[in-house]
Amino acid sequence: MKCEEARELLGALHDNELEPQTRAAVLEHLQACPDCARALKELDALRSAIAKAERFVAPPELRARILRAMNNRSVGIASWRWRTTSALAASYVAVVILTGSIAYRAASVHFRDDFAVQEAVAAHVRSLLDERAVGVTSNDQHTVRPWFGGKLDFSPAVANLEPEGFPLLGARVDYVANRYLAALEYGRRNHKITVFVAPSEGERFATPRRTSRNGYNIIEWTSGDLNYRAVSDLNDQELQEFAALMQQKTGK
Ligand SMILES: [Zn+2]
């Protein structure tokens, strides 16, 4: 089963609506695919947040405020029936607002993450296709780092990982997920690793996060005020080794 097919079925799996055979096929895919497993987890979290919100009863103070606002608009119609109806409506309005904001927040966080990762992979692939995309070709971090001066509003740390078998190939300024950032190119045998560096701007990784998209492995982490996103078709284990070294050498 392919990811696209599995994703389509996650909702039905969550709701226990799948035929046993299909269910088994999806579960088998989830075992092998951390991406889809993560998507299911996120779906679970979102749905349980919504379920909780639906059970939410407006606190008395909020209910009173909404009631007052509604009654002010209906001077003279203060019958018992009206008050009951508006009390119900007040609770309902609160539920809709809360449910909507939770769902929106969950969806937008997920979308933002996914967008940044997809964009990073796309930028990495573009750089593989276009050798001219390199801004500065150098294996010396003392050349590469100053090269960014005046081109970006931050200064990326550039580590020398040549002794560990990850030579620096060059760097460029790239535009990814709606912002300019530093793209550092490292090599490993015939593989290329692009490390995108940008200010973290509130989006911080407490621990490095590993994902994969379209056959590329991605590791994201925060070091100091900067977020790093390494993308490569290098195997996950060696990319983790690379990310660990990078963190060690650029960490403050
Ligand atoms: Zn999958």
> Tell me: the pLDDT tens digits for 2-21?
888 888 888 888 888 888 89
Rounded CA gap, 124 and 20, in Å? 40
State in Å: Cα 172 to ligand 1 middle: 32
Mean pLDDT of all residues belonging to the chain: 81
DSSP H helical segments within 130-235, as ranges?
141-147
What's residue 55's pLDDT?
Answer: 52
Predicted confidence (pLDDT) per residue in 204-233, tens digit: 888 999 998 888 999 999 998 999 999 999
Going from the Cα of 10 to the center of ligand 1, the distance in angstroms, rounded, reads 11
d(CA 87, CA 66) in angstroms, rounded, equals 8
- What's the mean pLDDT in 154-158? 90
Q: How close is the Cα of 215 to the center of ligand 1, in Å?
A: 11
How far apart are the C-alpha atoms of 136 and 237, rounded to whole Å?
28
C-alpha 8 – ligand 1 centre gap (Å): 11
CB 200 within 8 A of CB 227: yes
Reported confidence tier of residue 241, pLDDT bands at 50, 70, 90: very high
Q: Give Cβ neighbours of residue 71 (< 8 Å, ≥ 6 apart).
A: 78, 83, 86
What is the distance in angstroms between the CA of the first residue and the CA of the last residue of the chain? 44
pLDDT number for residue 10? 86
On the question of pLDDT at 97 being above 90, the answer is no
d(CA 188, CA 194): 11
> Cα of 29 to ligand 1 centre, how many Å?
6
For the question of whether the overall pTM of this predicted structure is more than 0.75, the answer is no
Whole-number Å distance, alpha carbon 221 to ligand 1 midpoint, is: 23
Q: Judge whether residue 252 has pLDDT over 60.
A: no
Residue 89 has pLDDT above 70, yes or no: no
Q: At what angle do helices 80-129 and 34-54 cross, to 10 degrees?
A: 160
pLDDT higher than threshold 50 for residue 78: no
Q: Is the pLDDT of residue 80 over 60?
A: no
Q: Which residues does 107 contact at the CB level (< 8 Å), separation at least 6?
A: 46
Contacts of residue 104, defined as CB under 8 A and 6 or more positions apart, other chains included, come to: none
